[in-house]
Amino acid sequence: MTPDGRTRKPLPADRAFVVQLRADSDLGRDGISGRIEHVSSGSAALFDSVEVLLEFIRGTIGQVPQPSDVPDDIARRGK
């Protein structure tokens, strides 16, 4: 539960990432750079800004089929 009483959403494995920051990254000045890896697929990228980091996350999550993206007849066969 959150402090205001709302139920927390699950943390799906297909939305897990490892972010490694370079030693000279300066978070106070938006000087962030490093490497990000999507845990379940193993795809990785280097980034040199928050925008590039988020672009990788959005692109990766957008490629992972969500349960609601699977047609009902295929979902039923999988059960």
Domain interval for residue 65:
13-77
- Inter-residue contact 28 to 21 (CB < 8 Å): no
Those residues whose C-beta lies under 8 Å from the C-beta of residue 36, and which sit 6 or more positions away, are 17, 18, 19, 20, 44, 45, 47, 53, 56, 57
User: Has residue 24 been placed in a domain?
Assistant: yes
User: Has residue 50 been placed in a domain?
Assistant: yes
What is the pLDDT, as a whole number, of residue 38?
Answer: 97
- Our count of domains for the chain comes to 1
User: Has residue 19 been placed in a domain?
Assistant: yes
User: Has residue 17 been placed in a domain?
Assistant: yes
pLDDT along the chain (79 residues), means of 10: 88 96 87 95 95 95 62 47
Q: What pTM did the predictor assign?
A: 0.69
